Structure 1
Amino acid sequence: MTTEFDLGRLLAERGAERYELHGKYLNHQLPRMLHTIGFDKVYERGEGAYFWDADGNDYLDMLAGFGVMGLGRHHPVVRKALHDVLDAQLADLTRFDCQPLPGLLAEKLLTHSPHLDRVFFGNSGTEAVETALKFARYATGKPRVLYCDHAFHGLTTGSLSVNGESGFRDGFAPLLPDTAVPLGDLDALSRELKKGDVAALVVEPVQGKGVHEPPPGYLRAAQELLRKHKALLIADEVQTGLGRTGDFYAYQHEDGVEPDLVCVAKALSGGYVPVGATLGKDWIFKKVYSSMDRVLVHSASFGSNAQAMAAGLAVLSVMENEQIVANARVTGDLLRSRLTALIDKYELLADVRGRGLMIGIEFGRPKSLKLRGRWTMLQAARKGLFAQMVVVPLLQRHRILTQVSGDHLEVIKLIPPLVVGEKEVDRFVDAFTDVMDDAHSGSGLMWDFSKTLVKQAVANR
């Protein structure tokens, strides 16, 4: 007799073991880290920009699953599309036919970048970047790829080759031929291009680590240099694309920029299904897929699957019908202006920057003697501890989930779901103000917690 699988029953019986199961069978350092900083919460459900725990307390999500939940959790239109595509019982992934959904999603996606012609669908942002790197090298016949200092483009081997942080690269070499150039430095770019072996420059129009933008005009000038040397411009829009910065793509903030290849992922499926896409010019695709013998020269087993394609179509429909991009621009401007107004009030607050709903809050060395001593203590133990001191009480006292923007950075990055509005801005700014008041009092819970962070940092050296 066949016993029916009951997911609800399994979760009811074993859900409380979640941290123990992870520590035993998955990455054992994750639960350890979460316990240390007090992030070992048990979230029971999520909807829109909020989570709820078992006691019914709501938590504001200013992280969006590292940008995956662009429409928030469980948007009803995306949910219905997934139910519909499962009920349709399509003959999916036969691999030797052409299903309608991939073509329809590609057509819709390309309307937002009319200078591009074709799409390859994979399963993640790092796959989208891998595709762009392979296509650029094959199309140009050149081996080397340029990237920017402090860039993040993924963690598979090719993407890791263009990752600007040594902490991710150490121990995984040898990687692809590559060279880092400073973000915004056209002279450095020109010097590398003159060597004649560069296939492409891959760049985030707004860097995720630290939330840094290139200087105005850089992307356009870089594009002209690349074309002069028959190299390609790859825009990594995995985190910045699909409305995050207040335009559909972040490169569109600068007139005349038309990348040869564009990478998207994360928010494309509404957070439900792994998906990635590489958009490119017709001649590049035709060079890679130059004959019937090469029809499978680059492919993905789960690429273009019906669930991902249906979710992507639903996401783009919601973005258009609910004016998601305009909301990201307006709400982002409001949040950034409210936070910028606090810089003169708090000596520990150094900068607020970003575009749309991708905002970096940077902390810096205070002027007053009492705070300077505490700041110096933290910096000596490990750079980035003060930002972590802010993130923790935002969650513990105010039930707001945020993140430090990168290892050894005194920057908090805000990338909330693009559906947040004035109510969420008010809640975050009020909470942030309370935390900064506590930090500037020179005592209190924040500085008590700093002792735990310092001990942990010293122990991990």
Structure 2
Amino acid sequence: MPADRLDLAALIAERGQERYELYARYLNPQLPRMLHTLGFDRYYERAEGPYFYDAEGNEYLDMLAGFGIFALGRHHPVVREAVQQVMDLDLPDLTRFDCSPLPGLLAEQLLSFAPELDRVFFGNSGTEAVETALKFARYATGRPRVLYCEHAFHGLTTGSLSVNGESGFRRGFDPLLPDTAIPLGDLGALARELKKGDVAALIVEPIQGKGVHAAPPGWLLAARQLLHEHRALLICDEVQTGIGRTGSFFAYQEEGVEPDLVCAAKALSGGYVPIGATLGKGWIFEKVYSSMDRVLVHSASFGSNAQAMAAALATLHVMREEKVVENSRRIGELFRERLAALVDRYELLAEVRGRGLMIGIEFGRPRSLKLRTGWTALQAARKGLFAQMVVVPLLHRHRILTQVSGDHLEVIKLIPPLIITEREVDRFVTAFTEVMDEAHRGSGLMWDFGRTLVKQAVGNR
């Protein structure tokens, strides 16, 4: 007897108010606690494009895009229709003993944006794309060690964690894979490690997500040449920077460099179905899959599933038709210019940096004694509290969702949907200006909240 229809709308209507209690009881108990502390425990009811809406219909501007997933905003109609179409087709998906047309068609389209690469492996996430690149690089070179950059973030599964540049993520999960960290942009450190003869690859984010720090101009190109001289590979992790985020399809393309392997994910999903992609040179894939005996030496149970392929095909279609990458570059330049113009106005604002719609706003020690006293108290309690003081009123008063760009950083990172317009830029800059005006008065609700953060930080030690 067939099961009765599951009425999800009714279930959410009945139990939706329990969302934070359910999460605390059955999932990660610290997430609801953290959200409640910051006053971020909102009840969003729906989303469209670059906006969320609560039950009262209040509009919130999204400057996070789900950590970069929603490059096209939420619920883009072309992507949604493609996913609905593929489900209606009743395809014989994941039979294991055929070659579905959709993965080949997607690989063809994806590689058209990166003609310097030849083949693709499809997995289910960014960390899985990184795991694939690490495995392929080690097998293709016959070497065990992978270099990575300090402060890098490449994922949290065991292999990708081995090349994670933050000790807080790694602590307690040892032993990991053979690895060595080098400073971003340091060719001398790279050369010293390569001389040891056991390096398979260097993995690098062209622009680091933590802090929004770009590799110095020319460094990627010089690093690739040095790696190839020592028969090692260059892996570019474009899980966040790729698919138009930085104003070119992949960030490495701005540097005129040809990586050996590239990791992509997040935005490729269209915000609907998880997907990871590892693009690479043909000889690497041919070495890994060198015979029929090795046909399944690397695979993924849900990799290349029809829904993910359809969502990604639709995403690339929208990227082309709506000139999304061009918008990212144009609006990103405007956004940075508007924010950078505020640096001389506010002594607490140190720098605005980034590329395309990946922007870092860094705060720094003020000159005036009154502001310096409050800044010093915050820094003594925990670095990063001032940035949190800015993020909170942006949400509470201006209904704009942002994030601090990593633990112990006085940096806010903006990675909005790539479809935003001057309207959203105006809204953010106006709100940010009001928040900074209050911060520079040296008193008021912001600094009251700062004192609360100091007490909590000290109490957690």
User: Partner of 2:198 in structure 1?
Assistant: 197
Distance in 2 of aligned mates of 1:192 and 1:14:
55
User: Partner of 1:99 in structure 2?
Assistant: 100
User: Partner of 2:326 in structure 1?
Assistant: 326
User: Partner of 1:212 in structure 2?
Assistant: 213
Q: Does 1:368 align with 2:368?
A: yes
Shift in Å, 1:422 = 0.2
Q: Secondary structure at the match of 1:376?
A: helix
Q: Secondary structure at the match of 2:214?
A: coil
Q: Secondary structure at the match of 2:208?
A: coil
Counterpart of 2:391 in structure 1: which amino acid? V
Taking the TM superposition and a 5 Å limit, the aligned residue runs for 1:342-421 are 342-421=342-421
Shift in Å, 1:216 = 0.7
Residue by residue over 1:242-301, the C-alpha shift from the partner in whole angstroms, topping out at 9 and shown as x without a partner, is 00000000001112x000000000000111111000001111001101111111110000
Taking the TM superposition and a 5 Å limit, the aligned residue runs for 1:60-79 are 60-79=61-80
Distance in 2 of aligned mates of 1:123 and 1:115:
23
User: Partner of 1:261 in structure 2?
Assistant: 261
Taking the TM superposition and a 5 Å limit, the aligned residue runs for 1:229-244 are 229-244=230-245
User: Partner of 2:447 in structure 1?
Assistant: 447
Distance in 1 of aligned mates of 2:130 and 2:459:
36
Q: Secondary structure at the match of 2:213?
A: coil
Counterpart of 1:318 in structure 2: which amino acid? V
Counterpart of 2:352 in structure 1: which amino acid? V
User: Partner of 2:275 in structure 1?
Assistant: 275
Counterpart of 1:346 in structure 2: which amino acid? Y
Distance in 1 of aligned mates of 2:36 and 2:438:
23
Identity of paired residues, percent?
78
Shift in Å, 1:92 = 0.2
Distance in 2 of aligned mates of 1:460 and 1:335:
37
Distance in 1 of aligned mates of 2:211 and 2:421:
24
User: Partner of 2:8 in structure 1?
Assistant: 7
User: Partner of 2:223 in structure 1?
Assistant: 222
User: Partner of 1:120 in structure 2?
Assistant: 121
Distance in 2 of aligned mates of 1:425 and 1:41:
23
Aligned residues: 460
Distance in 2 of aligned mates of 1:351 and 1:24:
41
Taking the TM superposition and a 5 Å limit, the aligned residue runs for 1:146-185 are 146-185=147-186
Residue by residue over 1:126-159, the C-alpha shift from the partner in whole angstroms, topping out at 9 and shown as x without a partner, is 0000000000000000000000000000000000
Shift in Å, 1:35 = 0.3
Counterpart of 1:253 in structure 2: which amino acid? E
Q: Secondary structure at the match of 1:209?
A: coil
Q: Secondary structure at the match of 2:207?
A: coil
Distance in 1 of aligned mates of 2:426 and 2:322:
22
Q: Does 1:188 align with 2:189?
A: yes
User: Partner of 2:458 in structure 1?
Assistant: 458
Distance in 1 of aligned mates of 2:322 and 2:72:
10
Q: Secondary structure at the match of 1:278?
A: strand
User: Partner of 2:91 in structure 1?
Assistant: 90
Counterpart of 1:70 in structure 2: which amino acid? A
Residue by residue over 1:27-86, the C-alpha shift from the partner in whole angstroms, topping out at 9 and shown as x without a partner, is 000000000000000000000000000000000000000000010000000000000000
Distance in 2 of aligned mates of 1:311 and 1:219:
31
Residue by residue over 1:310-363, the C-alpha shift from the partner in whole angstroms, topping out at 9 and shown as x without a partner, is 000000000000000000000000000000000000000000000000000000
Distance in 2 of aligned mates of 1:456 and 1:100:
55
Q: Secondary structure at the match of 2:443?
A: coil
Q: Does 1:45 align with 2:51?
A: no
Counterpart of 1:160 in structure 2: which amino acid? L
Shift in Å, 1:214 = 1.2
Shift in Å, 1:96 = 1.1
User: Partner of 2:112 in structure 1?
Assistant: 111
Counterpart of 1:245 in structure 2: which amino acid? T
Distance in 2 of aligned mates of 1:442 and 1:139:
58
Distance in 2 of aligned mates of 1:455 and 1:30:
20
User: Partner of 1:19 in structure 2?
Assistant: 20
User: Partner of 1:143 in structure 2?
Assistant: 144
Distance in 2 of aligned mates of 1:390 and 1:425:
17
Distance in 2 of aligned mates of 1:254 and 1:205:
9
TM-score (norm 1): 0.99
Q: Secondary structure at the match of 1:432?
A: helix
Q: Secondary structure at the match of 1:71?
A: coil
TM-score (norm 2): 0.99
Unaligned 5+ segments in structure 2 are: none
Distance in 2 of aligned mates of 1:154 and 1:429:
32
Shift in Å, 1:3 = 2.5
Distance in 2 of aligned mates of 1:254 and 1:278:
20
User: Partner of 2:307 in structure 1?
Assistant: 307
Distance in 1 of aligned mates of 2:70 and 2:457:
31
Counterpart of 2:227 in structure 1: which amino acid? L
Q: Tell me the C-alpha RMSD between the 2 structures.
A: 0.6
Counterpart of 2:176 in structure 1: which amino acid? L
Distance in 2 of aligned mates of 1:214 and 1:314:
31
User: Partner of 1:81 in structure 2?
Assistant: 82
Flag as ranges the 4+ runs of structure 1 deviating above 3 A.
none
Q: Secondary structure at the match of 1:297?
A: coil
Counterpart of 1:252 in structure 2: which amino acid? Q
